[in-house]
Amino acid sequence: MDRIVFTAAGGAARVLEQQSVLSNNMANANTTGFRAQLANYRAVPFVAEDGLPTRVATVTTTPGSDYSQGIMVETGRSLDVAIRGEGWFSVQTPTGEALTRAGDLGVNAQSQLVTQQGLPVLSADNAPITIPDRGTVTFGPDGTISVLGAGDRPTEIQAMGQLKLSKPDPATLERGDDGFFRVRGPNAGAPVQADPTVRMVSGFIEKSNVSAAETMVGLIKNARQFELQMKVIQDASTNAERANSILSSSG
């Protein structure tokens, strides 16, 4: 393959990879607790045997995710919770414990506290949390859960446990295909340790930290870069056809 075509095709492939990441971020711009995924590409020179660079290709680098705080929106809903600063909620998935920032919780038919996907939210004891039928739930800043049963007096409020709040090192986290985060490395698969310093607030949810404006600019920029790469390939093909025609005529 012509070197210019190979180089341009590689650049176009990297642009498409980043475009896919940006498109996913844009699609989740309104997803509660979503963390924007980061994906970049960098130039890598090809070096000839004599040590001189011959051309430059690109490779994808994915630093991870943007863990900055999203906008806090007040909802007034008792089952909506949001973490202030760093920290995660824990949920039980078919493959084990996973982490999320989405705090728009609900109660399923089994009276368990669950996410919008129906996954049980874990307590500090690594167990699902059961909410009494028609009980009024309140959350403390440290994740403690109190429930006032239907018809009970305010003095009869009951403590029902505590949400598991953790703060693992962001460098150890990886995003799964299901959108949840998990710890990788030597502690992969082990329960995450609860962190008593994490604080949360009830009646609020945290919005996605995706900047729709910046993401749209990135999408447009990538589209133009892809068109440029395709133009280079087309020009290389045209030049090759002209060269072949000249050689054929001279023969």
pLDDT tens for each residue of the chain, 251 residues long: 467 777 777 778 888 888 989 999 999 999 999 999 988 777 777 676 666 566 666 766 667 899 999 999 999 999 999 999 999 999 999 989 999 999 999 999 999 999 999 999 999 999 999 988 777 889 999 999 998 866 666 666 778 889 999 999 999 999 998 999 999 887 777 889 999 999 999 999 999 999 999 999 999 998 998 888 888 888 877 777 777 777 676 55
Distance CA 131, CA 133 (A): 6
- The residues, any chain, with a CB within 8 Å of residue 248's CB and separated by 6 or more, are none
Q: Is the Cα dihedral 75, 79, 80, 82 positive or negative?
A: positive
Q: Would you call 104 helix, strand, or coil by DSSP?
A: strand
How confident is the model at residue 79, as a pLDDT? Answer: 94
DSSP string, 192-214: PPB-TT-EEEESEEEPP---HHH
Query: How many helices (DSSP H) and strands (DSSP E) are in the chain?
Result: 2, 16
Confidence (pLDDT) at 11: 78
Distance separating alpha carbons of residues 193 and 176, to the nearest angstrom: 20
Can you tell me the distance from the alpha carbon of 216 to that of 181, in angstroms, rounded to the nearest whole number?
25
Counting beta carbons within 10 angstroms of the beta carbon of residue 131, is it exposed (0 to 12), middle (13 to 18) or buried (19 or more)?
buried
- Please give the Cα distance from 208 to 187 (Å, whole number): 28
Which pLDDT score is estimated for 53? 63
The three-class DSSP label of residue 131 is: coil
Residue 199 contacts residue 97 (beta carbons within 8 Å): no
Q: pTM above 0.85?
A: no
Q: What is the pLDDT of residue 155?
A: 63
Looking at the chain, how many residues does it have? 251
